[in-house]
Amino acid sequence: MATWSPDQLRHEIDVLAARGLACDAFFAELGPRLRRTIPSDAACWHTLDPDTRLLTGDAPSELIQRGIFSQQGAAAAGALLIRSEYVVADANTFAALARRRVPVATLEQATRGDPARSTRFRDLLEPAGIPHELRAAFVLRGRAWGAVHVARRAGASGFTQRDVDALAQVGGAVANGIRASLRFDAARRAGGPDAPGLVVVDPDDAIELMTPPAAAFLHALGVPPGRELPSAVLSLVAYVRAGATANVVTVPVPDGWITLHASRADGGRVAVVLERASGTRSAPLRLEMHGVTAREREVATLVARGLTNAEIAEQLVLSAHTVNDHVKRLFEKLDVATRQELVARVFLVDYQPQIARGTPLSSRGHFERD
């Protein structure tokens, strides 16, 4: 196959994102496209919680299909990955990448040419015959929506700076695609009080399908008498049908803002997701069970993101002494002794069972709760 430039790849990702695919389907189609620009043996994709930057899901199907891991081996590899991300200090973690101005790097770069310094390399990559690893976090407006591990087997050349630069150029497009997939997934389920609404518009601009939450959003947008859809929806539908890949618009309403996301479907149909433009969650609610205060939840979230105490103090406009006190109280309340243990306690107790159960993600990247 012909090689794609990063610009060509970014265009293909934009088109793919506009289709409103489920996350697994988006990742399955994204992998072969990425190899047109960055040759590799396989890629493993992940979703991240945008607030904490902790793993919320993975898609290792390429690693299995290409014979790097069996189904059972992939599960064991996932446990080792979690250990290297959250239990021990390691190089080139997804949380560390998400903090960087350019959130892409090879393991060789991160270890200054000595990947054996990495626990992940010694315990996972080298035994699997993967000496070369390229990683990226997909960040959009400061929020990390996903990540990828790209592998080259023994016998292949290592990743180059050109590969790093190419992946960096398409990172924002991938993040946007993951976010769009989550929104369409959540709209199809239409569950929970904050669920987005889904409307499918037929070729004649009539409503073919509408979920219950969508009716309330359309009413808020002020549907004119005798018409099924407001002008904001019809305009976006026409724009997307004309081939536009920019498919998001935010519309003011009397009590706030509503964001519309459109995706082309078969036969001239267009699917539109409607949701409130801002979320109601500002800190991980899972920490409340440990008696953690609102300020301590903020600190815990920034610890999970990999920030130092000095960086947390700067972001929250607190003194370093105050941050040290918050971290000490977090250690006491969660019964841990190190920052890695703190993150592992939150992840292993709460996130990992959710991943194992396949708990759906909301449109904002969090696990849905009953």
Residue 260 lies in a domain: yes
Same domain for 160 and 200, yes or no, is no
By DSSP bridging, strand 132-140 and strand 104-106 are: antiparallel
pTM of the model: 0.80
Same domain for 59 and 150: yes
Q: Tell me how far apart the alpha carbons of residues 187 and 193 are, in angstroms, rounded to a whole number.
A: 12
- Report the CATH number at residue 108: 3.30.450.40
Q: Is residue 51 part of a domain?
A: yes
Asked which of 257, 276, 295 is the last residue of a domain, the reply is 276
Tell me: do 133 and 224 sit in the same domain.
Answer: no
3-state secondary structure the chain: CCCCCHHHHHHHHHHHHCCCCCHHHHHHHHHHHHHCCCCCCEEEEEEECCCCCCEEEEECHHHHHCCCCCHHHHHHHHHHHHHHHHHCCCCCCHHHHHHCCCCEEEHHHHCCCCHHHCHHHHHHHCCCCCCEEEEEEEEECCEEEEEEEEEECCCCCCCCHHHHHHHHHHHHHHHHHHHHHHHHHHHHHCCCCCCCEEEEECCCCCEEEECHHHHHHHHHCCCCCCCCCCHHHHHHHHHHHCCCCCCEEEEEECCEEEEEEEEECHHHCEEEEEEECCCCCCCCHHHHHHCCCHHHHHHHHHHHCCCCHHHHHHHHCCCHHHHHHHHHHHHHHHCCCCHHHHHHHHHHHHHHHHHHHCCCECCCCCECCC
Does 24 share its domain with 100?
yes
CATH of the domain at 215: 3.30.450.20
Residue 41 shares a structural domain with residue 131: yes
Task: Mark whether 118 and 79 lie in a shared domain.
Answer: yes
pLDDT for position 174: 97
Residue 94 inside a domain? The answer is: yes
Q: Which residue has the tokens 């309330």?
A: 216
Parent domain of 303? 285-357
Is residue 253 domain-shared with residue 298, that is, in the same domain?
no
Distance CA 265, CA 263 (A): 6
Whether residues 170 and 45 share a domain: the answer is yes
Residues 67, 10, single domain; the answer is: yes
**Is the residue at 254 inside a domain?**
yes
Assess if residue 66 is contained within a domain.
yes
Number of domains in the chain: 3
Residues 161 and 224 in one domain: no
* Residue 362 located in a structural domain: no
State the residue for tokens 């130092």.
308
Q: Are residues 97 and 170 in the same domain?
A: yes
Asked if residue 253 and residue 160 are part of one domain, the reply reads no
Tokens of 239: 């724009």
The answer to whether position 227 is within a domain reads yes
Question: Along the 370 residues of the chain, how does pLDDT read in single tens digits?
Answer: 679 999 999 999 999 998 889 899 999 999 999 999 999 999 999 999 887 788 888 899 999 999 999 988 998 998 899 889 888 889 999 989 999 999 999 999 999 999 999 999 999 999 999 999 999 999 998 889 999 999 999 999 999 999 999 999 999 999 999 998 998 888 887 666 568 899 999 999 999 999 988 988 988 888 765 567 888 899 899 988 888 766 888 888 877 788 899 998 888 899 999 988 754 333 355 577 678 888 998 898 888 887 899 999 999 999 999 999 999 999 999 888 888 888 887 777 777 777 877 888 888 888 875 4
pLDDT for position 281: 39
Domain stops at, among 156, 187, 218: 187
Residue type (1 letter), 312 = I
The residue among 162, 187, 212 that closes a domain is 187
Residues 131 and 154 sit within 8 Å (Cβ to Cβ): yes
Residue at token pair 């190190």: 338
